[in-house]
Structure 1
Amino acid sequence: MASTRGGYWNRLVRRLTSDVTELDADDLSREVDAVGAQRACDCQSGEEVTVLGRLRSVELCPRDAAATLEAELYDGTEGVTLVWLGRRRIAGIEPGRTIKARGRIAVRDGRKVLYNPYYELQTTS
């Protein structure tokens, strides 16, 4: 019982003294584990993966270029760029949304990328 209490106090002190970004990353990592997704840091090029995270940014390609929508998904360990070719906008794909995405990991300019991923918008609880 004393070890449980000590664990509680250690968690409480950590939550009170940690940076908000660090706590958010911990929460995202727990969600990844809960839904059975893979951590982005563990994904390797060429693997079929399912990742879950929060969209940090969403960018539209300029008008004169080919239509492309890019979003950075962060799962608490690392970022993965989601790229939808032929799209300028997708309803629900906006910064701050939590989504689960599935596809084959590629590497572009040293960053992990999923092209035209299947995705599910997650509800916040």
Structure 2
Amino acid sequence: MSRFNKTVVSTMLGAALTGGLLIAGAPPAAAATCPSGASPVINGAKASWTLRCSGGTLSVYGWVEDTRADGKCAKIIAKATVTSGPYRHDFSACGWGVRKNFDWKFQGTKSANVTLQLN
């Protein structure tokens, strides 16, 4: 390999590694506020949820589905800071093709971090 090619390859690898570190070190997503919603898809799971506010209560509702026969579960986690402190709800759908609905209430807040995971 010529010296020029080695330099180009080395530069490209360095940039890729740096980019990967920047992505891996990114801060967590900001909390969603109502009204809003999301429909994320990851390898092995998908979900859809809506955030609505009424009378000082945040409602987070939707569904989560396991989309792969791998022995893992699709999991939704919702975290919010309410008047009494931090609060968390989580819910799983286990088994390929299983879809489950969820409906949570958080008193005294208008925002929550909602995430989809596979575990």
> TM-score band, normalised by the shorter chain?
under 0.3
Normalising by structure 2, we get a TM-score of 0.27
The higher-RCO structure (CA 8 Å, 6+ apart) is 2
Who wins on radius of gyration, i.e. which is larger? 2
